[in-house]
Amino acid sequence: NDASIGPFCNIAEGVTIGGGTRLGVGVSCKSAVKIGKNCEINEYVTIEKALIDDDVSIGQHTVIGKAGFGFETNEEHILKIPHLGRVIIGRKSSIGANCCIDRGTLQDTRIEELVMIDNQVHISHNVQIGRKTIILAQVGIAGSAVVKENCIIGGQSGIADHVEIAAGTVILSHSGVTKTISIA
């Protein structure tokens, strides 16, 4: 009853919005969206196929839960792979403005609790981000990568698909990670 829905919002049937949550101007929530309590969803955010826990903030113009970039090719065709998963965002996480978090193909894309994501970050399908990880501006994380808890990823870094980053890893700005980082 105490949720606040701004003007020009588009809320699909079946969407759940928790008490104390505020949606800014022009927010779009497609079906299969659940937003927890005391969240701050800023202007012109688009959300679909997502579960967002309590106390999450999302910056302007961010897109959460759209299909990722996945294709299969043969000699004659390029076929888009369906993305049937969701995006799950843990409590007290913060996502900056102009970010894109793709839903998973068959499994979910998962952002654990207390994850801080700066502006203009792209997180691809099936990515797993561990709790208390900090991701700075303009980072790109490719599909099915796993970033364990308490990592820091410097600005304008890129992480290749299917790699795993060990807990507590610090990736410096402008880095390219193409192989798994493990701690012996």
Q: Answer yes or no: are the C-beta atoms of 21 and 38 closer than 8 Å.
A: yes
Q: Which residues contact 118 (CB under 8 A, 6 or more apart)?
A: 96, 135, 136, 137, 139, 155
Query: In whole angstroms, how far apart are CA 101 and each of 74, 88, 183?
Result: 28, 10, 27
Active site residue ranges: 125
